[in-house]
């Protein structure tokens, strides 16, 4: 109200000021000129007053309310099938541009929606027909729930009916008018679909593994169907499956043996005319990780030391641990799901970097196995012996491993409380080194093997205090081409407790073992010192249209020397797009908490994607590569005739109708006619009409021109 009052006062002021200026015009001797100036000035003032007062014109009118009709168009890839040269997509566009649709839009309020993995409002010209799924049942149910309450009159569906996923068959309360995009086929379509490709979870280089494939068949009863595994244009293996009845589900196991670490692209092919689009070519990737050093842990029994030792070793991603424990019946069993049989042959040990013997009893292994362990150390392997009451305390210790032992045996085991201290050699040795300099008080041990001295070429890195006398505790030596360490206690796990002065990221115990393994088996590839990046994805196989999580883990000492990671993603068509992975934390399939870098990308095309990463910092540069595969959704059934039976039943159940191509006029007869008229108030602004503004400018310019022409001030 105050707004209009102020503008009214302003308009009155403008008119009053204009009237006052007329007094000066009366003194002009040229009466004609004065009349023109007065007229232009008065007209300008009146027009300006109209603009300030903002008058409006209000009138009532009756309008016809048009019924709401939703038009749902299948935007998936199967719409690109159909008889040449007119595909289903072309027929769908023909429906949308037909005279029947143009005429229907005069009486109905059409709202257009594309149907893919989700339903979304669209413009007919923006349809691409590249969707991975159509999910017709879900789309119809969703539209009916969201827009049916607005008084919708019906739904128009333009689809081939080949994907009815996304929920149970829908029961519509609105009539559904189905527009045919291709005449139905006369024969029942035979079909074989691939529902699942399950690559091996943790394949090892050079080891036999397999790929599990789940298939379903219709119309191929009793027929042998070949399932083939291809790589780099070469068929590797073929298995035949047989479907016993319509809709039968079978599985095929295809053997696989990747020779080296890396990312391998494979292709599954069902070599039969009944195979649908996804089954004819289903790409997937097998990622064989670059495993770290292989450590073999042999425990005489399951105890505290073995428990904490396994945890410490598995903390290091550069370690692949296989651990075995001896049961009461004398047999060895794998603790972490490895091979059931403990293999200590020379061939088996050649792939190991380190062997850890946790107080193994002399009679637990035969002489040939003890000899194989000794030879392993001589030939360049790392060997660690843990103390206890069995091996080092036994008179037979020298018989088993005498020539490689760093201390004379037997070394009697005693329970008690034993303080420990680093020697000068220990502070300079890589097993301890600068990280342990600030540690002044290690937790006391509760058991120790008391050895009298060490062999000639051995070094004492740490001592235990027993009866006021220093005894060797951690002793190392060079053995042939390998290295041997002996820990004369079975309670080093107490170092898991924080020690005064310790500032490392890991516990003193974990750090000790990490550095011990570095010394026992020097990293030939420099992974410990330089580090590397391991690129993975949350899955090796995706369906088109989904999200792909790209993950990068830093494998090396300490935290990653960079805060983000730049990668490039090359699509199957060759398009390259850059992306930056940000710092993130996630849980891997083994349940381990991983800190690294992560990002998401769209799986928008079928085929194999290539991902390359490059990280640079002041100290160096590393690169990494991985692949992931994207396959078409098995629900998006390419190469099949339309499911006219489903579409006709849908139309009949809803009270609608099924219309063949060219039956647009028949459809128009069934469309609801406008029934309601509503009265509405129409308010028109007068003050901002373009004519008012043009006249005001013309009057002002005219007065200025006339005054300048007459030479007036």
Q: Is residue 367 located within the same domain as residue 227? A: no
Is 551 domain-assigned?
A: yes
- Domains in the chain, number: 5
Is 438 domain-assigned?
A: yes
What's the pLDDT score for residue 622?
84
Last-in-domain residue among 225, 259, 288: 288
CB contact burial 612-648 (16+ within 10 A = b; e otherwise): ebebeeeeeebebebbbbbbbbbbbbbebbbbbebbb
Whole-number Å distance between alpha carbons of 567 and 549: 13
What's the pLDDT score for residue 72?
94
Is 116 domain-assigned?
A: yes
Q: Is residue 381 located within the same domain as residue 482? A: yes
Reported for 366-371, long-range contacts at CB under 8 A and 24+ positions apart, including other chains, are 369/344, 370/400, 370/401
Strand partners, 332: 326
Whole-number Å distance between alpha carbons of 651 and 158: 12
With beta carbons less than 8 A apart as the criterion, state whether 255 and 208 touch: yes
Both tokens of residue 256? Answer: 């696989």
Last-in-domain residue among 288, 318, 336: 288
Is 340 domain-assigned?
A: yes
Q: Distance between alpha carbon 78 and the CA centroid of its chain, in Å?
A: 26
CATH of the domain at 422: 3.40.50.880
Q: Is residue 197 located within the same domain as residue 318? A: no
Last-in-domain residue among 450, 485, 500: 500
Q: Is residue 306 located within the same domain as residue 439? A: yes
Q: Is residue 53 located within the same domain as residue 110? A: no
What's the pLDDT score for residue 15?
56
Q: Is residue 316 located within the same domain as residue 437? A: yes
Q: Is residue 129 located within the same domain as residue 256? A: no
Q: Is residue 156 located within the same domain as residue 229? A: no
Whole-number Å distance between alpha carbons of 45 and 440: 96
pLDDT along the chain (713 residues), means of 10: 54 58 58 65 70 67 75 90 83 93 90 89 88 85 80 89 70 89 70 81 76 84 92 92 81 86 86 86 80 82 83 75 84 74 84 90 92 90 92 90 91 93 90 80 89 90 92 93 92 76 72 86 51 78 81 79 91 91 81 82 84 85 83 68 86 92 90 66 68 75 71 58
Q: Is residue 408 located within the same domain as residue 481? A: yes
Is the N-terminal amide bond of 410 cis, ω within 30° of 0?
yes
Is 520 domain-assigned?
A: no
Q: Is residue 386 located within the same domain as residue 492? A: yes
What's the pLDDT score for residue 530?
59
CATH of the domain at 562: 2.60.40.1930
Q: Is 685 helix (H, G, I), strand (E, B) or coil?
A: strand
Is 350 domain-assigned?
A: yes
Is 512 domain-assigned?
A: no
Is 515 domain-assigned?
A: no
Whole-number Å distance between alpha carbons of 710 and 713: 9
Whole-number Å distance between alpha carbons of 156 and 383: 75
What pTM, to 2 d.p., does this model score? Answer: 0.53
Q: Is residue 611 located within the same domain as residue 690? A: no
Whole-number Å distance between alpha carbons of 292 and 304: 25
Domain residue limits at 27: 2-61+683-709
* CA-closest candidate to residue 248, choices 216, 207, 279: 216
Q: Is residue 335 located within the same domain as residue 439? A: yes
Phi-psi group of 458: left, alpha or beta (phi > 0 → left; psi -120 to 50 → alpha; rest → beta): beta
DSSP string, 512-575: HHHHHHHHHS--TT-TTTT-EEEEEES-SEEETTSEEEEEEEEESSSS-S-SEEEEEEE-TTS-
């Amino acid at each position: 109200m105050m707004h209009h009052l102020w503008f009214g006062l302003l308009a009155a002021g403008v008119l009053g000021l204009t009237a006052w200026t007329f007094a000066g015009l009366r003194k002009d001797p040229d009466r004609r000129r004065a009349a023109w100036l007065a007229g232009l000035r008065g007209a300008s003032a009146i027009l300006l007053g109209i603009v300030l007062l903002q008058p409006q014109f209000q009138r009532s009118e009756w309008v016809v309310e048009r019924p709401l009709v939703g038009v749902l168009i299948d935007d998936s890839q199967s719409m690109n099938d159909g008889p040449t040269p007119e595909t289903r997509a072309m027929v769908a566009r023909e429906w949308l541009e037909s005279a029947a649709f143009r005429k229907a839009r005069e009486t109905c309020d059409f709202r257009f929606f594309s149907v893919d993995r989700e339903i979304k409002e669209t413009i007919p010209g923006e349809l691409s027909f590249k969707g991975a799924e159509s999910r017709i049942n879900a789309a119809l149910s969703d539209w009916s729930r969201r827009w049916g309450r607005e008084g919708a009159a019906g739904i128009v569906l333009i689809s081939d009916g080949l994907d009815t996923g996304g929920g149970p068959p829908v029961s519509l309360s609105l009539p559904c008018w189905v527009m045919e995009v291709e005449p139905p086929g006369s024969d029942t379509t035979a079909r074989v679909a691939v529902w699942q490709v399950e690559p091996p979870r943790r394949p090892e280089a050079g080891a036999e593994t397999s790929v599990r494939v789940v298939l379903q068949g219709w119309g191929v009863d009793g027929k042998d169907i070949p399932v083939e595994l291809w790589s780099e244009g070469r068929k590797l293996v073929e298995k035949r499956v047989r479907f016993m009845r319509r809709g039968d589900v079978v599985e095929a196991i295809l053997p696989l043996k990747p020779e080296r670490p890396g990312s391998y692209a494979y292709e599954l092919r069902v070599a039969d005319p009944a195979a649908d689009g996804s089954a004819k070519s289903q790409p997937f990737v097998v990622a064989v990780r670059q495993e770290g050093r292989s450590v073999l842990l042999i425990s005489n029994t399951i105890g505290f030391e073995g428990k904490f030792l396994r945890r410490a070793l598995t903390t290091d991603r550069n370690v692949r641990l296989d651990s075995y424990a001896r049961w009461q019946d004398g047999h060895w069993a794998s603790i972490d799901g490895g091979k059931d049989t403990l293999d200590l042959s020379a061939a088996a040990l050649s792939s190991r970097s380190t062997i850890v013997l946790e107080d193994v009893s002399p009679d637990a292994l035969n002489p040939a196995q003890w000899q194989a362990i000794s030879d392993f150390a001589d030939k360049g392997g790392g060997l660690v012996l843990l103390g206890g009451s069995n091996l080092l305390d036994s008179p037979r210790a020298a018989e088993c491993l005498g020539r490689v032992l760093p201390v004379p045996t037997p070394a009697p085991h005693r329970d008690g409380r034993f303080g420990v201290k680093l020697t000068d050699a220990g502070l300079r040795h890589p097993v301890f080194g600068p990280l342990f300099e600030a540690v002044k008080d290690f937790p006391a041990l509760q058991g120790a093997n008391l050895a009298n001295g060490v062999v000639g070429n051995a070094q004492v890195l740490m001592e235990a205090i027993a009866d006021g006398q220093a005894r060797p505790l951690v002793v190392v030596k060079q053995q042939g081409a390998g290295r041997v360490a002996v820990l004369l206690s079975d309670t080093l796990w107490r170092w898991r407790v924080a020690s005064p002065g310790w500032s490392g990221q890991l516990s003193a115990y974990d750090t000790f073992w990490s550095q011990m393994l570095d010394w026992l088996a020097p990293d030939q590839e420099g992974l410990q010192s330089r580090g590397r990046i391991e690129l993975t994805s949350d899955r090796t196989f995706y369906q088109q249209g989904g999200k792909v999580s790209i993950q990068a883990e830093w494998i090396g000492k300490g935290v990653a020397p960079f805060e983000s990671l730049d990668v490039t993603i090359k699509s199957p068509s060759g398009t390259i797009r850059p992306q930056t992975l940000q710092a993130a934390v996630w849980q891997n399939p083994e349940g381990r908490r991983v800190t690294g870098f992560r990002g998401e990308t769209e799986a928008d095309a079928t085929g194999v994607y290539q991902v390359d990463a490059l990280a640079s910092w002041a100290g160096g540069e590393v690169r990494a590569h991985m692949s992931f595969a994207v396959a078409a959704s098995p629900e998006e059934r390419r190469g099949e005739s339309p499911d006219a039976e489903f579409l006709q039943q849908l139309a009949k159940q809803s009270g609608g109708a099924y219309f063949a191509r060219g039956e647009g006029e028949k459809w128009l007869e069934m469309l609801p006619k406008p029934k309601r008229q509503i009265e509405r108030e129409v308010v028109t602004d007068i003050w901002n009409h373009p004519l008012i503004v043009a006249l005001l400018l013309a009057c002002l310019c005219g007065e200025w021109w006339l005054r300048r022409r007459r030479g007036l001030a």
